[in-house]
Amino acid sequence: MKNYEAILRSVEKPTRYMGQEINSVSKDLNDVAIRYLFAFPDLYEVGMSHLGMHILYGLLNQIEDVYCERVFAVAEDMEQRIKAGDTDFVSLETRSRLKEFDFIGFTLQYELSFTNVLHMLDMGGIALRSTDRSEEDPIIMGGGPVCFNPEPMADFFDLFVIGEAEESIVQLMDIYRTARSKEDFLIRAMTVPGVYVPKFYRDIWEGERLIGYEPLHSDAPYPIVKAFIKDLTTAYYPDRMIIPYMDVVHDRGVIEIFRGCTKGCRFCQAGMIYRPVRERSREQIVDLVDNMVEHGGYREFSLTSLSTLDHSEIEPIVDQLAEKYTEKNVSISLPSLRMDSFSTSVLQKVASVRKSGITFAPEAGTQRLRDVINKNVTDADIDNTMREMFDLGWSRIKFYFILGLPTETFEDVQGIEQIAKRVEKIFYEKKRPQKALQLTISTSSLVPKPFTPFQWVEQTSPDIIRIRQDYLRNHLRGRNIRYQYHDIDTTTLEGVLARGSRRTGDVIERAYRMGAKFDSWKEYFDYKLWLQALTDAGQSLEMYLKARQEDEFFPWEIIDPGVTRTFLWREYQQALAAETSIDCRDGCLGCGINTTRIGGICFER
């Protein structure tokens, strides 16, 4: 073992491993009964931008005898030092090894981080499969949106918390204090909302077809109902976040202004699984911003949610904050903008400090296809919004589109090109003080996600996506327009892992053993390893990417997200007919969340 300072001097960006940031928590281990390690399966600079980590870290550390520390995946240079035995893989706060913790809680934000979970367990000297671990090993927990289909990772975890974990995790700590053994803890944990202990369930197959699950313990709930916070105004929210020294991906204060979304875009998993919509009050939001900026010293803060301008009081909130923070040179960032004149008027208020680039997501190139996905934006909305933005002085615009949407034809792809050319024309229809238009068109490709109306659809084949990307690459050229697109192979793999079953765990472990890790990083991703792992496991891409039958049982249906299968199917059928649905603020669509979970109306005008 070498001195840790000497190790840190020898690696790139040592602030990744340093800890001791402002607002990080230090506790005396002698006063601590439960040691929890929050693990993010990616590099520090990615993980520190994740809001959920800041919430759970603050929440757990509020409990006197619980100490929550952090660990992130390490970069290759550090990994080599660990493998050479020069140092250990340790937590940021107390530099403790993974085995010294009672819990290791991984957050699963994207499927391509699965191998990094195995990589981190391995580096910590912990067996990958729960069945190979002993009483002495930490309890390996998982949470985050990807856990709405926990099955691909079920064999590696002792316990998942499905849904919003703020209340459940505190209850789990209470149970752990009095638990007699790991087994006793896991059994009692199943009384807590959203808790899923995979080893107490067996998956039942008829050949290649999953037909259901069998609970193996009398206390095992089936299905597992997601946990959610009923009232966001009384839920815990940190009044300060850890302030990284390092330049992280999103370096700003983040205030979550509401949860859930009423728009009902049919491709969007977050819009389905985080129902119902729940707002924080205006007073609370303003207080949180004041606290966060005062303790953080940020030059920017973000009012975040799935659709920020839909907060019922967004205008007075922005007015109040803009007035206060413009003179302090602190800028307000609003993600997820809509394309309407309300957006431009709000944007105008927040842009007095820094006029950066603006992003919009029309998602599809033609009106027909936008109706299919229930993205209620018209060509006129796009044109008018752009004209207003340009008149107000903006010139850097980015548009997001999705390729491979159900029913998509070549005309829809050409529609993307036509939008780009129209926007260019609008910019140059008169002389403007801005130098030149910088328009970026970015496409991703649809990965059909569990618990969305598109959970039944076939994932569009890589060959078709490639042709469509090539078309756009060849036609979106010129001085003012730039085209970006997502890598096809990583999208295909995401599709495999998103709709996988418990049998997918075998593929993930095989890929990891062959060297797969950091799959979301272009420089590490090796598609061949995954294809090999699928073959070795006796599986195929086709099994995962194919269209599903109406009555087919899905691996993720061990979970109940509150939204019913009937609703999702109905939305899917309407999509195929290119019929839109209304925003739930304008009337209830009967998705199930209000009748089954909250016993009443989600939202009152």
Partner 1 sequence: MNVRLRYEKLGLMQFLSHLEVMKTWEQLFRRENIPMLYSEGFNPKPKMNFALPLAVGIQAVNDYLEIEVEDGFDTDRFLVMEMPPGLRVTGAKPVEGKPLMAVVASADFKITGDLMPFAEGLEREQLLFQKHTKKGERTRDAKPMIIEYQLTSDELWVHLKAGSVSNLKPTDLLIAMLDDPDKVYDYDIVRVDVYDETGRSLWLR
The total number of residues shown for the chain amounts to 605
Specify the stretch interacting with partner 1 by CB under 8 A; choose among 4-12, 188-196, 212-220, 339-347.
4-12
Strand bridging mode 258-259 / 278-279: antiparallel
Q: Please report whether residue 3 would count as binding partner 1 according to CB under 8 A.
A: yes
Q: Which of residues 410-469 bind partner 1 (CB under 8 A)?
A: none
Pull the structure tokens for residue 270: 């977050």
Q: 328 or 546: whose CB is closer to partner 1?
A: 328
CB of 75 to partner 1, least distance (A): 14
**10 near partner 1, judged by CB under 8 A:** yes
If one asks whether residue 31 binds partner 1 (CB under 8 A), the answer comes out as no
Rounded Cα gap, residues 179 and 191, in angstroms:
14
Q: What angle do CA 326, 331, 334 make, to 5 degrees?
A: 125
Cα(33)–Cα(35) distance, integer angstroms: 7
Can you tell me which of 25, 32, 170, 246 binds partner 1, judged by CB under 8 A?
A: 246
Using the contact rule CB under 8 A, the part of the chain among 9-17, 217-225, 364-372, 512-520 near partner 1 is: 9-17
- 92 vs 98, beta carbon nearer partner 1: 92
Nearest to 347 by CA among 312, 380, 303, 379: 303
Contacts of residue 16, defined as CB under 8 A and 6 or more positions apart, other chains included, come to 43, 44, 45, 72, 74, 75, 78, 246
363 and 408 in contact (C-beta within 8 Å)?
Answer: no
Do 166 and 179 touch, CB atoms closer than 8 A?
no
Among 95, 230, 354, 477, binds partner 1 (CB under 8 A): 354
Binding string to partner 1 for residues 251 to 270, with x set by CB under 8 A, is what? x-------------------
| Closer residue to partner 1 in complex, CB, 245/428 | 245
Contact flags string 290-329 toward partner 1, x per CB under 8 A: ---xxxxxxx----------------------------xx
Q: Taking CB under 8 A as the rule, does residue 5 contact partner 1?
A: yes
Measured between alpha carbons, how far is 358 from 356 in angstroms, rounded to an integer? Answer: 7
Minimum CB distance to partner 1, residue 142 (Å): 31
User: Residue 360 in contact with residue 384, Cβ under 8 Å?
Assistant: no
Please, which of residues 268-297 interact with partner 1 by CB under 8 A? 293-297
**353 forms part of the interface with partner 1 (CB under 8 A):** yes
Contact stretch for partner 1 (CB under 8 A) within 29-37, 133-141, 353-361, 416-424: 353-361
Q: Does position 15 bind partner 1 by CB under 8 A?
A: yes
Report the C-alpha gap between 438 and 418 in whole angstroms: 16
Our finding on whether 18 is near partner 1 (CB under 8 A) is yes
Contact criterion met (CB below 8 Å) for 330 and 300: yes
Q: Which residues of 13-24 are buried (b: 16+ CB within 10 A; e: fewer)?
A: bbbbbebebeeb
- Kindly list the distances between the CA atom of residue 91 and the CA atoms of 53, 71, 73, 75, 110, in Å, as whole numbers in the listed order: 15, 5, 11, 15, 22
Give the nearer residue to partner 1 in terms of CB position, either 26 or 341: 26
Q: Can you tell me which of 170, 235, 243, 588 binds partner 1, judged by CB under 8 A? A: 243
- Nearest distance in Å: CB 432, partner 1: 15
Report in angstroms how near the CB of residue 101 gets to partner 1 at its nearest. 23
Q: Minimum distance from CB of 298 to partner 1 (Å)?
A: 7
Q: Tokens for 200, please give them.
A: 């107490």
User: Which stretches of the chain bind partner 1, using CB under 8 A?
Assistant: 2-3, 5-10, 13-15, 18, 20-22, 243, 245-247, 251, 293-299, 328-330, 353-356
